[in-house]
Structure 1
Amino acid sequence: MNQTLDVLVVGGGLVGASLTLALLQQGFHTGLIEAKKAQPIEPVDFSRPGFDHRVFAISRASERIFRALGVWEAMCAQRVSPYQAMQVWESFGEIGFDHQDIGQENLGHIIELQVMQYALQQRQQDFPQLHGYFETKVSHLQQHEDYLAVHLNTGEVLTTRLLVGADGGDSQIRKLAGISCDIQPYGHHALVASIETALPHQATARQRFLPSGPLAFLPLTQPHTSSIVWSLPPEQAAAMQALDKPAFHQALEQAFNSRLGSVLESSELFAFPLRRRHAKPYVKPRIALVGDAVRSIHPLAGQGVNMGLLDAASLLDVIVQAQTKHRDIGALETLQHYQRWRKGENLKILLAMDGFKNLFGNSWLPLRWARNIGMRLTDATYPLKNKLMQQAMGLEGDLPRLAR
């Protein structure tokens, strides 16, 4: 049986890789299990056209976490897209946000998944002491008083003081730990693609609420190129995918009020189902969940990965404090501090997203008028509007050390 690890992270995505780096920086004896094959991620090839269809809106709090991990400069050296403004509207009601209103250089960044993965993987190479297990899955767990035995599908058994499930919405660790999860389909599929428009996006993120679901245009580094996220009922999403390009472009222009003029070109259109998930509880003795293993939300506010990174940074704070005080980092009492910290924050955002989806998904005419008037009133109330923006950017609240 191997020497006992301090922490074993399962899942090498953005949240799992970020947590692993943070643990290594703090001197924890750390292991990482990843189901996929170990292979180098290539940097962005600027000689080839097109963008990764998987992009994320990265908040200021997440930027600070990446800076603390030493990966932000590597991301910026490839391709990140800062945005200075945001427009949100339905019909006659609209809210506009501008970076100058809150004294910030920008409101956030749109970054491709490939860019972030490459930077994180390169940084991991600075820590040869990392124990990596690739093309590997956890088959079952055995609880002991002072450690957890983690049995792998390879027949190997690892021992760890703390096991962290960062393995996504269908988390195997969550299932093996016997942690229940409330799962509710949103009744939407998200369509994603990159598109080229006649008018420049002017570094502005835009979102329109439609009766069928929200449509977002996220600005990329090229002035006429945006990434779209269009939430639609499954049958409508399938119908959009079945259209030829001219017909799809016309439908997209119409849905977006032609705010960026004609749609000139589009990449391949991808679709994935949207589900609301929330684990109950987040922790058990020697086991903690982070990221999508804890909760999945509707992408209308682009907060999913930002919430996951805050999970990771908060868990790090809790176990560093426990280690400093010579307490057991895997004890349930320790891990419940993390649960109390993040559960309240997660519930606020989950409920807010549910509220937005239900509010704007109702086509009753008096309610449509009321919410559009409400948007106009909010737009005219600068203190409220700026407060909303600061919270979304991660500039307020009970933030972990890496995000401050």
Structure 2
Amino acid sequence: MVNEQSQSAPVKFDIVIVGGGVVGATLALQLAAIDKPTPLAIALVEAGAPVNADQPDLEPKSKPGGFDPRVVALTRRSEQLLHSLDAWAAIQADRACAYTDMHVWDADGTGVIHFSCAEVDAANLGHIVENRAVKAALYDQINQIEHIHCWHNAEVEALGGTEQVRDIILADGRVLSADLIIAADGARSKIRELAAMPLRQWEYGHKAIVTTVVTEKPHQFTAWQRFLTTGPLAFLPLQAEAQAGGEEHASSIVWSVTNDQADALMALSETEFNHQLSRAFEHTLGAITHSDQRFSFALTARHASDYHRPGLVLVGDAAHSIHPLAGQGVNLGLADTQVLAEEIARARRRSLSLGDASILRRYQRRRKSHNLLALAVMEGFKRLFGATALPVRLLRNVGLRRVNRMGWLKQQIIKLMLAGDESSAPHR
């Protein structure tokens, strides 16, 4: 606990964002663009070290290609947001892998569905981007803005202040004060915990294994996903250089398996793991010739009962976290930031307090139903493809095959994928 006598005088800001990951950094840039009547004084509080493009704050770069084991699958809407913040060009100059196709099939049958950007005359279906590249591009912009103040290596210890002016007390005794505290500090949000905000959560009984692999055959700039009864296995294409040239063989994998299976797979040698992974993927891209260091994490769904308290609001995984099978977690968080930034801009135009209850209620109303729907859809997919009963297996395989033959329906699905999160469109 922090010794109250050691606390410094509060440093006052308009807004304090706790959590400097992709969601928190993106929100900081959006809020910095609100310059009426004057620019907001923003504090961005991050528990980790400063982001540096040459020495990013993550695990050592993998081999080959130096890929970050953490990647995000960005929708077109998320790309547009990053472009509006002058970050997308830097991400592409680093490396962002556009994928043109998506191939999904049921391991326990013959059901398969294939999506191609050519079906809707689009250049791609989205981009697979390393977390490192996104953060580096965002912080390149943040570091040029005087009214964003970054506090790195800063652990939040306590909340204080009043409902009108909130304080956060850091572990070293420093105090930051603001009209609004924004929690962007992830699924295990310390701010949410300190504010005693109720949370619904349930364990999937699964862990996700992530790593970078190299395959014998090129990935064809396709996102591959095979649904096994033990959980989905995804191969997400990576690009070794900023400009694609010829064949690419590196992919980021996300393999969801039961806890016991995950522990067993994590204990295997690289050769044994590669063999098991190749079998699970039906050698679709040939043999796995290399796999990097593996990481695993438990899969838990969470949803806050409410997204706000007086002078405090949750965004991204602090408000909701879902199963990674569709790669929508970061996109949902970025949609949160768009809506919250719009509502804060509205408060400024109307000379309202940034922590005004009406502003935070509007944000929650615009985002909560969509996030709950995303949670329900992911839960439904998990249950559907995890079912082993013969009638269910037959129905899902027939369903996949029929959808794959219905060109007009596939086009509508692709258009929805490209459009991303429509709930973030401005409300007047």
TM range (shorter): over 0.9
Residue 40 (structure 1) shift:
2.7
Which stretch has the larger CA shift, 303-312 or 375-384? Answer: 375-384
1:4-403 equivalences under 5 Å are 4-26=12-34, 27-38=39-50, 40-42=52-54, 49-90=65-106, 91-144=109-162, 146-222=164-240, 223-395=248-420, 397-400=422-425
Q: What's the CA shift for 1:100? A: 1.6
Aligned partner letter, 1:155: G
Q: CA deviation at 1:50?
A: 3.2
Question: In 2, Cα distance between the equivalents of 1:210 and 1:195?
Answer: 19
1:187-241 CA distance string (max 9 Å, x none): 1111111111111111010100001100001111141111111000011111112
How far apart are residue 142 of structure 1 and its match? 2.9
Q: What CA deviation, in whole Å up to 9, does each residue of 1:316-347 have, x standing for no partner?
A: 01111121122222111210100011101101
RMSD between aligned alpha carbons?
1.9
Aligned residue for 2:65, secondary structure, equals coil
Q: Which residue of structure 1 lines up, in the alignment, with residue 245 of structure 2?
A: none
Gaps of 5+ in 2: 1-8, 241-247
Distance 1:143 1:111 in 2: 39
Check the 8 A contact 1:317/1:400 in 2, yes or no.
no
Q: Do the aligned partners of residues 3 and 237 (structure 1) sit closer, same or farther apart at CA in structure 2, a change above 3 Å counting?
A: closer
8 Å contact from structure 1 (residues 18, 312) kept in 2: yes
Decide which moves more: 347-356 or 188-197: 188-197
The whole-number CA distance in structure 1 between the counterparts of 2:425 and 2:166 is 27
8 Å CA contact 2:77–2:421 kept in 1: the answer is: no
Code of the aligned partner of 2:268: L
Contact 1:217 1:226 in 2 (8 A): yes
CA distance in 1, matches of 2:377, 2:260: 26
Q: State the identity as a percent.
A: 39
Contact 1:43 1:78 in 2 (8 A): no
Gaps of 5+ in 1: none
Q: Distance in 2 between matches of 1:145 and 1:296?
A: 27
Give how far 1:154 is off: 2.4
AA matched with 2:183:
G
Judged with a 3 Å threshold, the aligned counterparts in structure 2 of structure 1 residues 336 and 379 are, in CA distance, closer, same or farther, namely same
- Taking structure 1 as the reference length, what is the TM-score of the superposition? 0.95
- Native 8 Å contact 1:249 1:263 kept in 2: yes
Does structure 2 retain, via aligned residues, the 8 Å contact 1:41–1:121?
no
What amino acid does structure 2 have at the position aligned with 1:285? Answer: P
After superposition, give the CA deviation of every residue in 1:266-294 in whole Å (9 maximum; x if it has no partner): 11121111110101110111111001101
Cα-to-partner distance string for 1:353-399 (whole Å, 9 max, x where unaligned): 00000110111122111101001111122232222223233346233
Q: Distance in 2 between matches of 1:358 and 1:42?
A: 42
Q: Does the 8 A contact of 1:8 with 1:164 survive in 2?
A: yes
Aligned 8 A contact 1:50 1:267 in 2: no
1:46 CA drift (Å) = 11
Q: Contact 1:179–1:279 (CA<8 Å) still a contact in 2? A: yes
Query: Could you give the per-residue CA deviations for residues 150-187 of structure 1, whole angstroms, max 9, x where no partner exists?
Result: 32222222221110000011101101111011121111
Distance change >3 Å, CA 140–CA 246, structure 1 → 2: closer
State the secondary structure of the residue aligned to 2:232: strand
Instruction: Give distance in 1, aligned partners of 2:128 and 2:142.
Output: 23
What is the distance in 1 between the residues matched to 2:11 and 2:278?
59
**SS at the partner of 2:423?**
coil
Counterpart CA distance in 1 for 2:414 and 2:368 is 22
- 2:188 maps to amino acid: D
TM-superposed deviation, 1:314: 0.9
Of 125-134 and 109-118, the range deviating more from structure 2: 125-134
**Relative to structure 1, is the Cα distance of residues 40 and 395 closer, same or farther in structure 2, using a 3 angstrom cutoff?**
closer
